[in-house]
Amino acid sequence: MKIKIIQPGLLTTVQDSGRFGLAHLGVPCAGFMDEPSAALANHMVNNSTDEGLLELTWTGIEFKSEAACSVALAGAEFDVSVNGARVSTDAVIHLQAGDVFKMEKLRTGVRAYLAFAGGLAIDSMASSVSTLMVAQLGGYKGRKLQSGDVLFLKKPTTLPNNKKPGWKKLKTPSLHVIRATLGPEFNLFSTETCRQALGQAYYLTQDCNRQGFRLQGETISFPENYGMISSGLVPGSLQVTPDGQTILAMKDAQTTGGYPRILVVNQDELHKLAQIRPNQPIYFFVEHQ
Amino acid sequence: MNNGDCALTINFIATETRLALIHALCAEFLTEPMPEMINVIPATTSLTLVFAKQIKHNNIIYDGVLDRVNAVKIHEKATILHTIPVCYHPDLAPDLPAVLAALSMQVEALIEMHTATTYQVSMLGFLPGFAYLNDNHQALNVMRKATPSLQVDAGSVAIAGNQTGIYSMASPGGWQVIGRTPLELFNWHEPEKPMQLNPLDQVVFESISLNQFLSMKSQA
């Protein structure tokens, strides 16, 4: 009824669709960075699409299964082996008690989702099992997984061979266009600055985590005498800092912020950001409003 | 005002009762949420309503929100006063030297001004248990840091603009840290009331030495 982590990977956390209703206390929603990929992994093993699973970033995981169970991997594509033999991730993977599941080379994307049929047995906190590392809250002991951790499965089951449809596999364009709306502080920037900010390319820096992505672009002229009054901040907000650079709020972002927001990414586009790699260009497309 | 395609931010004009109004409205939306509403975020001058679906150009939602704003009533509550010990020592406050230099001020003057004020908790937010306090002594007005720090320690007391903030847990942050409290203000093991400070409560700071800080911390 359990799995034992041999290698946890760089950043592996338990996530579900997020923790809502506590933002007034300053609790960020957390949750899947790439929701459609997580839903696909859950769907492949007949879980509900918001079931808690493992989100893996940049590197995979190696674990030993102590019961027969079925797992599915979606989002970033990895080479995967079971007991040293390569297996395809295009379908559900069936494990027997004692099998060692290992994710090896990352092929495409950044974040992968590993769903277990029946789900992980994790205590929910405020109706969610999502890990919020900055507050050491939720998930598995409020932290990323470590070697030797033991995760229990709710009811390990093996399933028929659900497949991953080819058209649902992660696409990784080299140039990203993300739909957005104008931010609440848009009108504090000059017309020329706005034109520049909406037309230019932004490059994802190495400084990108579940809280926020620092982007690098042409310097944006910061509004003069800006009052810095904080207000409610949603994931996807592009905040301009006084040095003229930008920070894109992500799922673990703070609930309020004071930096002026020049635009806010549409919520159904957030998942695309989760699979962008550093140094890739991002353009924001704001529909006429 | 739209705040992305799934959220609305209502800005309130400055009045005596603005903060009480925002929190009364917040409490009401928390007790009786609108359909698909997933979060309510009160701030010093605004209230943000977050929905699970796109609400851009949805007049039914805009009208519904407007009706609730117009109908809200403020309830009088007794205010609670908290005394929070703070150690203003550069070992615990990495930005203290830069702040003193920017304000051309001695540390004694800064402590005197910062402890002389009775603050009001204007909001919680940013991260679990971050408390925003108004208003600083007008001589203590500094900008946020141009580039935020990646790690600010739990208990840090920081200033930016005319506000003081308390970081209840370690996190990244852009405010200028001038001191640290040994108190733990946010506790998840009390799910009913994890946060000691609430909006509209009052706060005064009491200066303590590094030794007092370490001794209080070791007893905590």
> How far is CA A288 from each of CA A176, A179, A202, rounded to the nearest angstrom?
19, 11, 21
Whether B128 sits inside 8 A of A265 (CB atoms) is no
Domains in chain B, number: 2
Residue for token digits 């905590």? B220
B126 in contact with A, Cβ within 8 Å: yes
CA distance A150 to chain B (A): 23
Whether A234 sits inside 8 A of B6 (CB atoms) is yes
Same domain, B39 and B105: no
Chain A residue numbers touching B124 (CB-CB < 8 A): 24-26
Class level of CATH domain A176-286:
mainly beta
Whether A266 sits inside 8 A of B5 (CB atoms) is yes
Within-domain flag for B1: no
Same domain, B144 and B196: yes
**Beta partners for B160?**
B163
A221 in contact with B, Cβ within 8 Å: no
Same domain, B99 and B187: yes
Give residue A222's pLDDT. 94
Same domain, B134 and B56: no
Q: What is the CATH number of the domain that holds B124?
A: 2.40.100.10
Chain A residue numbers touching B4 (CB-CB < 8 A): 181, 183, 234, 236-237, 264-267
Tell how far CA A77 is from the center of its chain. Answer: 14
Helix (H, G, I), strand (E, B) or coil at B13: coil
Same domain, B142 and B50: no
Give residue B192's pLDDT. 66
Same domain, B141 and B202: yes
A24 in contact with B, Cβ within 8 Å: yes
In a structure prediction context, what are the per-residue pLDDT tens digits for chain A, which is 289 residues long?
899 999 999 999 999 999 999 899 889 999 999 999 999 999 999 999 999 999 999 999 999 999 999 999 999 999 999 999 999 999 999 999 999 999 999 999 999 999 999 999 999 988 899 999 988 889 999 999 999 999 999 987 777 678 888 888 888 788 899 999 999 999 999 999 999 999 999 999 999 999 999 999 999 999 988 877 889 999 999 999 999 999 999 999 989 998 999 999 999 999 999 999 999 999 999 986 5
pLDDT tens track for A61-70: 999 999 999 9
Chain B residue numbers touching A244 (CB-CB < 8 A): none
Within-domain flag for B2: no
Chain A residue numbers touching B143 (CB-CB < 8 A): 228, 242
Chain B residue numbers touching A269 (CB-CB < 8 A): none
Last residue of a domain, one of B27, B50, B71: B71
The amino acid at residue A276 is I
Same domain, B59 and B86: no
Give residue B171's pLDDT. 81
CA distance A168 to chain B (A): 23
Q: Which residues 154-213 of B are in CB contact (within 8 Å) with A? A: 160-161, 169-172, 174, 188, 191, 194-195
Give residue B102's pLDDT. 94
Same domain, B214 and B142: yes
CA dist., res. B67 & res. B80, Å (int):
31
B141 in contact with A, Cβ within 8 Å: no
| Furthest C-alpha separation in chain B | 59
Whether pTM > 0.95 for this model: the answer is: no
Q: Per-domain residue ranges for chain A? A: 2-168, 176-286
A255 in contact with B, Cβ within 8 Å: yes
Same domain, B57 and B88: no
Q: Among A22, A182, A228, whose Cβ lies nearest the Cβ of B160? A: A228
Strands A212-216 and A261-265, by their bridges, are unpaired
Same domain, B60 and B103: no
Q: What is the CATH number of the domain that holds B11?
A: 3.30.1360.40
Same domain, B119 and B210: yes
Q: How far apart are the first and last CA of chain B?
A: 44
Nearest CA in chain B to A142: B188
Mean predicted lDDT score pLDDT of chain A: 94
Residue A18 near residue A164 (C-beta atoms within 8 A): no
- Say if residue B216's pLDDT is above 90: yes
Instruction: Give the up-direction half-sphere exposure of residue B96: CA atoms within 13 A in the CB hemisphere.
Output: 20
Whether A24 sits inside 8 A of B42 (CB atoms) is yes
Same domain, B66 and B104: no
Whether B128 sits inside 8 A of A26 (CB atoms) is yes
Structural domain of residue B161, as residue ranges?
81-219
